[in-house]
């Protein structure tokens, strides 16, 4: 019988953070008089992201968000709340730019307490067999790789200041098959799996990780859905309607808040019952 050597114990989350801190020393750069919590929201220039940014600002958070371009909302908010709001033009698929954005936020605001991975990309319906390779790469990079990278950098910052909370915005496409969105569905399913495993890794550091799994709700991403398809969705939904964006934001806000302090590793479906 072959002798089995004893495996070395797996590195704990605390071990990993200590190694990271040794390689990347934290800098004490908290602005005087600005000790309120800091939230990073991807894609906060419009839609659900904008609603979340507005709510967090109203609750005393300092908020940093990015998108590919400015909007009237981001420009106006940056002017009205320069010490509380930070916006930058960043392409979600440019992972180096995403990392640089979070480092800038951690330096300017001194900490990161919450992350909402809200931004995502859903291109026109395309069968898996005919989806071009570059479109596959873009969908996976935007909907899975970018949130993972953003989470990694934010979690490092959270680990240095006592913990935090991460909320990933997924999709019911991750749990129920739909024609024409196979690649997008795969990426979102990956995001839910990432959520569960990361919750195991980061719990010891006081970092909670959950995902919100919305059904159909009014957004830019669903604006091109035909009236016929909307009616079909309504008929299949037990509550008989589609969600308002505020109903999705309510759940995200709950998971960011201390009211959910003992919830981690969960994917909360908000779909009016369509997947039940």
Which residues does the annotation mark as catalytic?
A: 184
Closest CA to 137 of 86, 93, 89, 181: 93
CB 106 within 8 A of CB 112: yes
CB 271 within 8 A of CB 213: yes
For residue 18, give the 3-state DSSP assignment.
Answer: helix
Q: How is residue 143 annotated by DSSP?
A: I
CB 57 within 8 A of CB 85: yes
Which stretches of 28-71 are DSSP H helices?
Answer: 47-58
| Alpha-carbon torsion (197, 203, 206, 210), positive or negative | positive
| CB-CB neighbours of 10 under 10 Å | 6
| CB-CB neighbours of 132 under 10 Å | 9
Alpha carbons 89 and 245: distance in angstroms, whole number: 24
Which stretches of the chain are DSSP H helices?
Answer: 13-23, 47-58, 72-80, 95-109, 133-140, 146-159, 182-202, 227-236, 245-256
Give the side-chain half-sphere CA count within 13 A for 176: 12
């Amino acid at each position: 019988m072959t002798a089995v050597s004893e495996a070395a114990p797996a590195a704990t989350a605390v071990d990993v953070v200590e190694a990271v801190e040794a390689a990347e020393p934290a800098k004490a750069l908290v602005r005087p008089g600005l000790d309120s919590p800091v939230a990073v929201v991807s894609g906060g220039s419009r839609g659900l992201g904008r609603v979340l940014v507005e709510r967090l600002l109203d609750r005393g958070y300092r908020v940093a968000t990015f998108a590919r371009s400015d909007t009237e909302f981001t420009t106006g908010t940056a002017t009205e709340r320069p010490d509380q709001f930070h916006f930058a033009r960043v392409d979600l698929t440019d992972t180096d730019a995403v990392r640089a954005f979070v480092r800038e936020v951690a330096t300017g605001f001194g900490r990161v307490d919450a992350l909402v991975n809200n931004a995502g990309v859903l291109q026109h319906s395309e069968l898996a067999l005919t989806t071009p390779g570059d479109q596959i790469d873009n969908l996976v990079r935007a909907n899975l790789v970018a949130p993972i990278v953003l989470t990694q950098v934010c979690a490092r910052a959270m680990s240095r200041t006592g913990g935090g909370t991460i909320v990933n915005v997924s999709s019911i496409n991750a749990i129920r098959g739909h024609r024409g969105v196979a690649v997008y569905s795969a990426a979102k399913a990956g995001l839910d799996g990432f959520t569960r495993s990361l919750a195991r890794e980061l719990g010891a550091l006081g970092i909670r990780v959950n995902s919100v799994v919305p059904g159909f709700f009014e957004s830019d991403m669903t604006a091109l859905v035909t009236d016929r398809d909307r009616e079909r969705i309504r008929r299949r939904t037990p509550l008989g309607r589609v969600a308002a964006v505020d109903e999705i934001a309510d759940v995200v806000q709950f998971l960011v808040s201390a009211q959910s302090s003992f919830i981690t590793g969960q994917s909360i479906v908000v779909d009016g019952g369509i997947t039940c």
